[in-house]
Amino acid sequence: MRRLITVIIVLLVVAFLCGFLPAPLPTLPRLFPSVLPTVILKPEAVFTVFGFAVPNSLIATLLADLVLILLFFAGTRNLKLVPEGLQNTLEALLEVLNGLMEQVAGPKARRIFPLGATIFLLVLTANWMELIPGVDSIGKIEVSHEEGIQGYAIQEAGPIAWLNGTKVQPPPQGETATQEESLPLAERCQQFGCVVVPFVRTASTDLNFTLSLALISVVMTQVYGVQALGGREYFSRFFNIRGFKRSLLFGPLDFVVSILEGVSEFTKIISFTFRLFGNIFAGTVLIFVFSWLIPAIVPVFVYLLEVFVGLIQAFVFMMLTVVFINQATTGHGGEAHEETHAEAHSAS
């Protein structure tokens, strides 16, 4: 009960901070004014390292990696036979994940566990970063030069400036480009309209992040399948011509089914990518809108919803990966052909 009360208090504090801190309105394209905040869709470089632009979504991904590394370093620094504290929490979490995978993959779960658990923890951490005040909202204010992006005027208080919600219709491009650089920021925003390029942007709202995870999941599915069944046996499910030798009636049918099986591997990439992206992106927009319109109490419920959504999306991504790998490592006869050396290495 004490932990539950602590969580509720933290959420209340976060919600009130989101309400009182200057928060920009979502920057919306004129073409889709209620659906697609372009400033969130497009990763923006906030600084350069050795001449290479570092996108804000990459910063969020590196922060998520750093959080996980430090968390497990702290939890495993002084291992005890009877775990307690952070070590106990981490072991309990990993045991739950391992138990879920065993229900799906049985003995093969032990080999799949490192990949599945890593995907779950990374996606969960990246998803929950949207709940931190300042993520997606604190950054550089710049004039919007792209067609279709709504710009706003700003208010200033010393070194701090924020979008005040006053929409600005910029003049046609090219007419006043030479005058823009000589004007102060406030005047530029008043004439041309400004947007916020956040320093840290939720990684799961970047298609590069979700597509990368989808490719890792699908490619590793093929790797596990080849290791378990062998290359010839495994890839025959995507291009099956052996059925022609057995039956002239069912051979063509088996061939068509195998082609559809291959196509389904590519559709998995699309499904993985847009499921995670769509859910977290929608949650980010929801947090922005409610924190702007009703900044006091309602954002608490939105935050509770997003805690749940972030957890569910991480769980779904992990479990689908486990299910697909389990199917890939199961032969056509319904039995898995695990390699003996892999079993021995796994058992050791």
Please tell me whether residues 159 and 214 are part of one structural domain.
no
User: How would you class 110 by CB atoms within 10 Å of its CB: exposed for 0-12, middle for 13-18, buried for 19 or more?
Assistant: middle
d(CA 161, CA 146): 21
For each of the chain's 348 residues, which pLDDT tens digit applies?
676 666 666 656 655 554 444 444 444 333 233 333 333 345 566 667 777 778 888 888 999 999 999 998 888 888 888 878 888 889 999 999 999 999 999 889 999 999 999 999 999 999 999 888 888 888 888 887 766 677 778 887 777 777 777 778 766 655 555 456 677 878 888 888 888 888 888 889 888 889 889 999 999 999 999 998 888 888 888 776 666 566 666 667 777 777 888 888 889 999 999 999 989 988 888 888 787 777 677 778 888 899 999 999 999 999 999 999 998 888 655 444 444 344 434 433
Q: Per the domain annotation, does 87 fall within a domain?
A: no
Contact 139, 197 (CB under 8 A): yes
Please tell me whether residues 279 and 311 are part of one structural domain.
yes
Please tell me whether residues 143 and 127 are part of one structural domain.
no
Please tell me whether residues 158 and 227 are part of one structural domain.
no
Q: Per the domain annotation, does 59 fall within a domain?
A: no
Please tell me whether residues 190 and 233 are part of one structural domain.
no
Give the pLDDT score at 251.
Answer: 64
Number of domains in the chain: 2
Please tell me whether residues 113 and 221 are part of one structural domain.
yes
Q: Per the domain annotation, does 13 fall within a domain?
A: no
Q: Per the domain annotation, does 343 fall within a domain?
A: yes
Give the pLDDT score at 288.
Answer: 80
Give the pLDDT score at 238.
Answer: 78
Alpha helix (H) residue ranges in 77-108: 85-105
User: How would you class 188 by CB atoms within 10 Å of its CB: exposed for 0-12, middle for 13-18, buried for 19 or more?
Assistant: buried
Please tell me whether residues 232 and 249 are part of one structural domain.
yes
Please tell me whether residues 214 and 295 are part of one structural domain.
yes
Give the pLDDT score at 84.
Answer: 81
Reduced to 3 DSSP states, what percent helix, strand and coil does the chain have, rounded to the nearest 5?
A: 65, 10, 25
d(CA 40, CA 226): 39
Give the pLDDT score at 130.
Answer: 87
Contact 324, 272 (CB under 8 A): no
Please tell me whether residues 161 and 299 are part of one structural domain.
no
Please tell me whether residues 223 and 112 are part of one structural domain.
yes
Q: Per the domain annotation, does 274 fall within a domain?
A: yes
Six-digit token pair at 114? 């490192």
User: What global pTM score does this model have?
Assistant: 0.78
Please tell me whether residues 165 and 241 are part of one structural domain.
no
Which residue bears the tokens 């659906």? 35
d(CA 344, CA 348): 6
Q: Is 52 helix (H, G, I), strand (E, B) or coil?
A: strand
The DSSP annotation for 129-195 comes to: GGGSTTTTTSEEEEE--STTB-EEEEEEETTEEEEEEEEE-PPPTTSSHHHHTTS-HHHHHHHH-EE
Q: Per the domain annotation, does 294 fall within a domain?
A: yes
Please tell me whether residues 211 and 336 are part of one structural domain.
yes
d(CA 56, CA 65): 14
Q: Per the domain annotation, does 263 fall within a domain?
A: yes
Range of the domain at 23: 18-35+139-170+184-198
Q: Per the domain annotation, does 81 fall within a domain?
A: no
